[in-house]
Amino acid sequence: MKALFSALRYALAHTMSRLATTLCGVSLRNPLIAAAGTAGYGPEIAEVIPASRFGAITTKSITPESRAGNVPWRVTDLPGGMLNAIGLANLGLERFLAETLPELETIDTVMIGSIAGHTIEDYVEVAAAFGEPSAAALELVELNVSCPNTASGRQFGDDPSLLAEVVAATRSALGSKPMLVKLSPWSADLSGLALAAVRAGADGLTISNTVPAMAIDPDTRRSRIGRASGGLSGPAIHPIAVKVLHDVRARLIEEQCLVPLVGLGGVLSWVDAAEFTLVGATGIGLGTALFIDPRAPRKIERGLDAWVRRQGAAGIQDLVGAFEA
């Protein structure tokens, strides 16, 4: 029995080391990252899926004020994925710091704090708190810039100068903690936005958020969710996210400012995850998959490990960007 356990431990250690990676200077035991808004604040998912299955877990997006979110229904399933309009429901910064942050210290993986807001001051306020030594449980932060700016009505992530402004302001409020900027795939010039974010101080980019979408019930003639439109996630958006990440990376290389990338959108299997790796993702986000199958992270981890071994690579990092056109 003891020999069996040590053989298992040995196999596990090797699995972990083949998938070990580094994202913006932070060591991850594997590239799998629970996506913002799909894992609660962290403790919720960790009660269902061992946190050690993930390289990192991202919190819900936190705003300065608490938000009840949109009217129901806020989520509906569609043949190719899920449509949601949650509306940034969250506890607000003060309660997050007092009630949730202490719990994050005990979670056995890297925690990423997601920041959202409707003004630049909102982002700065949350970033300043996340940059404090008391928030050491958050090793990385991620900026959700798919939020409308109350001043202009435009999303922060839609306009390169507004994006640069929010990223630079957040960067200086945050101090030295590594910062990912999460982009929407819905833009005519995503590479231009990515460049603006990197030049303004993003240490890495998460590509991408949901795709704006609608679903209508023909009998009621109303939206199938409480809002007229929402964000599509899941398998339908995966090939789009792969293409967008590939193109953004090519542009960043051309401009000599490549930063680590997190591929996010529709990963349900190791094959989807491997595609992101090949087009250049260091981290691989899982969102909708966590609603479908709590064993998804484990299955993907095993599948990726076997793939890295079959490829004859020492580790997954050697396969990042190894796509051959």
Ligand X SMILES: Cc1cc2nc3c(=O)[nH]c(=O)nc-3n(C[C@H](O)[C@H](O)[C@H](O)COP(=O)(O)O)c2cc1C
Tell me which residues touch ligand X (CB under 6 A).
35-38, 60-61, 75, 82, 84, 86, 88, 114, 144, 182, 209-210, 233-234, 237, 264-267, 285-289
Give the residue closest to ligand X by C-beta: 37
At its nearest, how many Å lie between ligand X and the CB of residue 154?
A: 18
**Residue (18 or 34) nearer to ligand X, CB:** 34
The rounded distance, in Å, linking the Cα atoms of 138 and 168 is 20
The token pair at 273 is 């995850």
User: By the 8 A CB rule, do 43 and 103 touch?
Assistant: yes
Catalytic residue annotation? 147
Nearer to ligand X, 15 or 59 (CB): 59
Contact 107, 42 (CB under 8 A): yes
Q: With respect to ligand X, which residue has the nearer C-beta, 18 or 278?
A: 278
C-alpha distances in Å from residue 320, one per residue of 85, 105, 248, 253, 282: 33, 30, 14, 14, 6
> Nearer Cβ to ligand X, position 195 or 284?
284
| Residue of 264, 302, 255 whose CA lies nearest to 282 | 264
Task: Name the minimum Å distance from CB 180 to ligand X.
Answer: 10
Of the candidates 71, 78, 80, the one whose C-alpha atom is nearest the C-alpha of residue 216 is: 78
Least separation, in Å, of the C-beta of 124 and ligand X?
A: 18
We find the least distance from the C-beta atom of residue 61 to ligand X, in angstroms, to be: 4
Helix 190-199 vs helix 160-174: angle between axes, to the nearest 10 degrees?
30
